[in-house]
Structure 1
Amino acid sequence: MAHSTARVRRVRSASTRRAEIVRLAAELFDQEGYHQTSMETLAARAGVAKPTLYHYFSGKEAILREIHRDFIEPLIARHEMRLTTSMRPRQLLLEAMGDVLELMDTHRGHVRVFFEHHRELPPAAHAEVQARRDAYETHIEAVIERGVREGEFRAIDVRLTTLSIFGMCNWAYQWFQSEGSMRPREIAYLMWDIVERGIGAPGTV
């Protein structure tokens, strides 16, 4: 029993250390650039010897894959959890937009890497990550389709609407500041208001 407990602790410790390395790497890639950051630099920032760093990850590409997973998997998990509830399409879309904005706050270093460096992944990892991104996109399309089908949204181009919502949320990493006057979910509510009601004044359309 003692051996089993010790093994669990070692596994947890290794998992925690890997997560910390990924977080530090995401920050460095965001600040210095993916190509400009070496494994030596990352090892120094993490306070470990370079061979120790290679014990956890085979190289920068392996870390890059983990960064992408850390960003996309929470989005999918949260959305799939909400699909088990009675939420209507409007609320599902609003919550999805809030998720993206909140991750830009809590996973600041991951965001730029996720949107700008997925092409640096090796083919197999890129295909894996792209499949998950596509799965999430399909989820959002399905919500919009449901809204149209049930009369909650007007007849619209579902694909273009999906891309427009993603474009609005995803581009926010270029200007969002954690120390700004509005919190991520507040911004999401304002964005959703623009999506749902447009910008025309009442009576002018």
Structure 2
Amino acid sequence: MRTAQRAARRRMSPSERRQQIVTSAADLFDEGGYTSTTMDDIARGVGLAKPTLYHYFPSKDEILHAIHEEFIDLLINRHEQRTATGLGPEQLLLEVMADILELMETHRGHVRVFFEHHRELPSSEREAIKVKRDKYEQFVEELITEGIRKGIFRETDPHLATLATFGMCNWAYQWYRAGGTLRSREVAYQFWNYLVYGISASSASPTS
């Protein structure tokens, strides 16, 4: 078994190896925390000698940056591809919320790192990630603004509504566990329902 695993590792391309390191490190940071996890831990996690690990990532900071970049790029790319499909702002808002919550299942370590460890990024990398964070936030604010303009959403502060959207989704990983009574997309739909229709009986959606 170990021989087969070593052979599979040898067949990896450099990009596949980097991806393996990033994924493994994200899981380790999720389990043990960024500060407590060492490059030795990461090397053991992917079955590499420590000097080989340094060949791909010269520092733990660079791995942290790669995790942040991969996570925000996933969100941005999914949204940009979806906007070309002609979906309305209300559906796009639901999908934004679903993206964040579904990544709790597929990229749990990335989620925790992104929301808890951005301050540990070196200043230049932190600024680069902030630019992408702001870009994604602007996407959401623009679709809420469009929904207001089209009469789909009532008149409200688009920026505050955007913050409310992220406020519901971004910290759900603290309590959400896969295998519970609701899947992540079902949680996203409930959050979307609360945001769009509220929880008042008089304003409940027809599908509630």
TM-score, structure 1 as length reference: 0.91
**RMSD of aligned Cα (Å):** 1.6
2:15 is the counterpart of 1:24: no
Q: Give the unaligned 5+ runs of structure 1.
A: 1-9
Task: Flag as ranges the 4+ runs of structure 1 deviating above 6 A.
Answer: none
Does 2:194 align with 1:194?
A: yes
Q: Deviations over 1:51-74 (max 9, x none)?
A: 000000011110001101111111
Residue 3 of structure 2: aligned partner: none
Residue 48 in structure 1 maps to residue 48 in structure 2: yes
1:148 paired residue number: 148
Counterpart residue number, 1:102: 102
Distance 1:203 1:128 in 2: 41
Give the match for residue 4 of structure 2: none
Q: Structure 1 pair 53/73, CA: closer, same or farther in 2 (3 Å)?
A: same
Which residue in 1 is equivalent to 2:92? 92
Range moving further from structure 2, 94-103 or 80-89: 80-89
Q: For 1:15-70, what per-residue CA distance to the aligned partner results, in whole angstroms no more than 9, with x for missing partners?
A: 11110111110011111110001111111121111100000001111000110111
> 2:177 is matched with which residue?
177
Task: Show CA shifts across 1:107-134 (max 9, x none).
Answer: 0111111000011111111111111011
- State the partner residue of 1:58: 58
In 2: Cα distance, 1:160 partner to 1:129 partner = 22
Partner Cα distance (1:96, 1:192) in 2: 10
1:7 aligned residue: none
Deviation at 1:202, TM superposition (A): 1.7
Compute the displacement of 1:196 (Å).
1.1
Q: Which position in structure 1 is the counterpart of 2:7?
A: none
Q: CA deviation at 1:12?
A: 6.4
Identity %, equivalent residues: 54
Letter in 2 for 1:110: H
* Contact 2:43/2:49 (8 A) holds in 1: yes
Aligned to 1:69: 69
Q: Say how many residue pairs are matched.
A: 195
Taking the aligned partners of 1:94 and 1:77, their CA distance within structure 2 comes to 16
The one-letter code matched in structure 2 to 1:105 is E
| Structure-1 residue corresponding to 2:130 | 130
Q: How many angstroms apart in 1 are the aligned matches of 2:151 and 2:11?
A: 50
* CA–CA distance in structure 2, aligned partners of residues 132 and 11 of structure 1: 33
1:160 aligns with 2:160: yes
Are 1:39 and 2:39 counterparts?
yes
Which runs of no fewer than 5 residues in structure 2 stay unpaired? 1-9
- For 1:76 and 1:33, how far apart are their aligned partners in 2? 26
CA distance in 1 between counterparts of 2:111 and 2:83 reads 25
State whether residues 197 and 203 of structure 2, in contact with CA within 8 Å, keep that contact through their aligned partners in structure 1. no
Name the CA distance, whole Å, in 2 between partners of 1:115 and 1:188.
18
- Show CA shifts across 1:133-182 (max 9, x none): 11000000000011111111111011110000001000101011012121
Rounded to whole Å, the distance in 2 between the matches of 1:167 and 1:203 is: 21
1:11 offset after TM fit, Å? 10
- SS of the equivalent of 1:202 reads helix
